[in-house]
Structure 1
């Protein structure tokens, strides 16, 4: 019994880390849906591309070149965010803008096609096998509970993930609440036609939403690649499905809901893997989603849309 509490704390830390990544990706889904009412199913591949760009940047700088860690890590994040933002913009211009006025199913199929294209594009350039990522951040925070033989170990790479996610979430919340573009995003989310009539460049706002979501996903991709130490072209599909689940769980269209849904899904998945057979972790995660949708279809923080007639 003495080891139960430290094991719980260990899994709690692991769950917060995983949930932070899901939250960063889920924001891209929920912002796009909140403004244009569509799901960007290519978003998981954008996350994967961000991780690869980070790896290429780290390789170009050189891990053994003797540069300070903040410089290498910051450079990888900046390049990945900038380039991945361009990919997000390209997805919006190619897969969504030409089809925005058509049936809602058409952009969905286009996004799935873009997802497959991006996945194969990376496979052609980097191969389909796992690629190792150099260890930039080593060491861990260790705690020992008196009377227990189990040590709580939290790697610094995972601490960075949680801290970076928290800072980005606060910055995004303030940006949406107080900046001019944030107010424009909220106006478009409420009523796209009225926002257009009031002089808001809705095309610019939609493009910005895709770019911002891609940039946040890129941060998650680079940080998780450094934490787990490997990459493959297929990590985007699984992460994208989980992040979409988190967005629906928290309330699709709600940014706080995406944050809450990501953290909650990460915790549920981690504790299920720790205390149940490992193959049940996805079952528990999606069972939670089904229960939420049965009893609260709008998600935890979602709002019911009232249509006026």
Structure 2
């Protein structure tokens, strides 16, 4: 039971980050029926943006006062979100909008997305290579803020990550289902030409969708860097897993992306519990995805954004 609870806590922590990234995929797909393969680099940009801001304020973080820790966490989430939202907005304006204006086929969007992904990845490698594989500033003491629940060791930072992710996911769910902007997003997702006839600005709605998805991905980038540090594959591999989570829950479905992300994170971290070597973690996660899709091809919830409400 103790081992199970430990792995469950780790799974919920990582799954919360997957869910936030997956929301960016599912929002864009719900509106444009487009898989934004550059979203993993949008997530990565949020991680680097928040790292630069936090590092500029506290350096290595060793002498940070305890009262400043909550403020730094909020600042990291905001700076990561703003950085990634800016990149996502630019991406939509440069890589996708010109194609949409010309009525380009879906294949052109796909090629543009892959090209943008490679460009952003290479650009980040050139600009931030000195930060790769560098730990995030240690501005909090992990051992001093840990307690036990049913024998499992729970760190306060894990509660912060899960709590922040839940708050942001609930906020997005309410925004899409209850606000004017959310009704516009759902209308464009359901029938863009008719939505335009009803007075909805299609370009503005799509741009805001990219910004919202990018901001959530950037916030996840900060949380990812805070707990797992930076690495050469921090954009691609978590991004692919988050895309798998979006498909698992039902691509284009916001609540499905949340469920898919949490489920994928839990499954990944339960691998050692059943006696499988941790090097097979990625394989097991995608095997679970395939098995679910064999019995439910549309994912767990399987509704598109426009029909989700």
TM-score, normalized by the shorter chain, greater than 0.5: yes
Residues 88-124 of structure 1, C-alpha deviation per residue, up to 9 Å, x if partnerless?
A: 1011111111112211111111111111111111111
Give the 5 Å matches for 1:119-158. Answer: 119-127=121-129, 129-139=132-142, 140-143=145-148, 151-158=151-158
| 2:283 counterpart of 1:283 | yes
Distance 1:204 1:304, change over 3 A: closer
SS at match of 2:147: strand
- The residue that corresponds to 1:111 in the other structure is 113
- The residue that corresponds to 2:40 in the other structure is 44
Contact 2:85 2:212 in 1 (8 A): yes
Distance 1:303 1:170, change over 3 A: closer
Contact 1:26 1:258 in 2 (8 A): yes
- Per the TM alignment, residue 72 of structure 1 is displaced from its structure 2 partner at its CA by 2.1
Q: Which moved more, 1:32-41 or 1:75-84?
A: 75-84
Contact 2:251 2:304 in 1 (8 A): no
Contact 1:177 1:183 in 2 (8 A): yes
Q: Please list every run of at least 4 consecutive aligned residues from structure 1 whose deviation after the TM superposition is greater than 4 angstroms.
A: none
The gaps in structure 1 that reach 5 residues or longer are 146-150
Give the 5 Å matches for 1:217-296. Answer: 217-228=217-228, 230-275=229-274, 276-296=276-296
* In 1: Cα distance, 2:37 partner to 2:272 partner: 26
* In 2: Cα distance, 1:92 partner to 1:132 partner: 31
Tell me which of 22, 25, 39 is aligned to 1:26: 22
Residues 133-178 of structure 1, C-alpha deviation per residue, up to 9 Å, x if partnerless?
A: 1112323432275xxxxx5212222211100011111111111111
Kindly tell me the number of residue pairs found equivalent between the two proteins: 295
- Per the TM alignment, residue 304 of structure 1 is displaced from its structure 2 partner at its CA by 8.1
The gaps in structure 2 that reach 5 residues or longer are none
- Per the TM alignment, residue 65 of structure 1 is displaced from its structure 2 partner at its CA by 6.1
CA RMSD of aligned residues (A): 1.7
| 2:3 counterpart of 1:7 | yes
Contact 1:61 1:72 in 2 (8 A): no
TM-score, with structure 1 as normaliser: 0.91
SS at match of 1:70: helix
Residues 246-291 of structure 1, C-alpha deviation per residue, up to 9 Å, x if partnerless?
A: 0000000000000000011111111014431112211211111111
